Amino acid sequence: MTGDALVELEGVTKRFQRGSGTAVTAVDDVTLSVRRGEVLAVIGYSGAGKSTLVRLVNALEQPTTGTVRVAGQDITRLGEKELRAARAGIGMIFQQFNLLSSRTVAGNVAYPLKVAGVGRAERDRRTAELLDFVGLLDRAHAHPEQLSGGQKQRVGIARALATSPPLLLADEATSALDPETTEEVLTLLRRVNTELGVTVMLITHEMEAVRRVADRVAVMEGGRVVELGDVYDVFTAPQTAAAQRFVRSATHDRPSPEALARLREHHAGRLVTVRVTDRPRLQQTVDAAFRDAGTGAELVFGGVGEIRERRAGSLTYELTGDDAAVARALTALRDQGVSVEEEE
């Protein structure tokens, strides 16, 4: 594997024994690496195995087969003591925050430092620094139940970063939050990555979270990673059905089946969708292809925006003209590397 990988999972399978003797395979032969300094999102529906996958990284779960290396260290072979030391280098935040209700905000952030044997003065200094970073210095002496969900997660993030770990695991960190606080926490996670240089593994079922903070995304289905790529590539050209469903959930430039049915009522021609990427002069290429093939083209649906600061979108045209002309137009576009497909 590449030298710049912070986390390397190799052929990892995790099976859980159920009561009746049947086994459930939560993670199925996954090989995946998280590069140093990136935000890797793992997206999947509930039951796809993503929460189990992230727990294999800090050995909260042991794999049935396969190896898990973090910073070059095979953490499936560590004794309890070494494992505890390794975990100090891996921060984790949770969907339900999992704050200690018997301790104050500052007490929560200081706890991992206490566990690591850091002295009181240094603990206090580091705690104040982290609370300042997440914008909660004024709530240091509050108790967790006095905080809003977004504030709780920010305390969770401060606590996870207390021991200055190079890696942060975020397990559905925004799933219990409303859209506004989700935004706030995602922005903070991005800052953790860019300002502190922490590598982040983000587990989520929300494609919007992927779009906002991730560099790469792994799509999980049935315990397997079915697609892996740069967020931009997966958004603009999802390969698998699972990835396409997720992309559709976060973008609104592709007509839904209902919208398609309405379009067909008013447009007798064939409906084709062109993927918009940041390739130069895309519009000119598309126009020329339609013109040269002799088809009429009417823009009926679509949108163009940005994914990871690059142009991305989708435009649906109604093409009029005989079948041969339409076929010529599609072939010409594909020959020039423009992704185009006919709506079913």
Round to whole Å and give the CA distance between 42 and 56: 13
86 forms part of the interface with another protein (CB under 8 A): yes
Binders in 192-221 for another protein, by CB under 8 A: none
Structure tokens at 250: 């976060």
Binders in 244-283 for another protein, by CB under 8 A: none
Contact between residue 24 and residue 31 where contact means Cβ atoms under 8 Å apart? no
Phi-psi region at 192: left, alpha or beta (left = phi > 0; alpha = psi -120 to 50): alpha
Q: Residue 197: which residues within 8 A CB-CB, separation 6 or more? A: 37, 166
Question: Considering beta carbons, is residue 55 or 211 the nearer one to another protein?
Answer: 55
| φ/ψ of residue 320, rounded to 5 | -115, 155
20 forms part of the interface with another protein (CB under 8 A): no
Place of tokens 């390794």: 86
Binding mask 151-190 for another protein (x = CB under 8 A): --------x---x-----x---------------------
Which range of residues in 7-15, 93-101, 244-252, 275-283 is near another protein by CB under 8 A?
93-101
Which range of residues in 29-37, 88-96, 182-190, 216-224 is near another protein by CB under 8 A?
88-96
Nearest alpha-carbon partner for 54 in 37, 35, 34? 34
Binding mask 41-60 for another protein (x = CB under 8 A): -----------------x-x
Element (H, E) at 4: none
Contact between residue 170 and residue 6 where contact means Cβ atoms under 8 Å apart? no
Round to whole Å and give the CA distance between 336 and 339: 9
Structure tokens at 205: 């079922």
23 forms part of the interface with another protein (CB under 8 A): no
Amino acid in the structure at residue 36: R
Contacting residue, 83, 250, 263, 325, with another protein by CB under 8 A: 83
Question: Considering beta carbons, is residue 98 or 285 the nearer one to another protein?
Answer: 98
Question: Considering beta carbons, is residue 203 or 228 the nearer one to another protein?
Answer: 203
324 forms part of the interface with another protein (CB under 8 A): no
Round to whole Å and give the CA distance between 322 and 225: 42
Question: Considering beta carbons, is residue 123 or 212 the nearer one to another protein?
Answer: 123
73 forms part of the interface with another protein (CB under 8 A): no
- Contact positions vs another protein (CB under 8 A): 58, 60, 80, 83-88, 90, 92, 94, 96, 98-103, 111-112, 115-116, 143, 145, 159, 163, 169
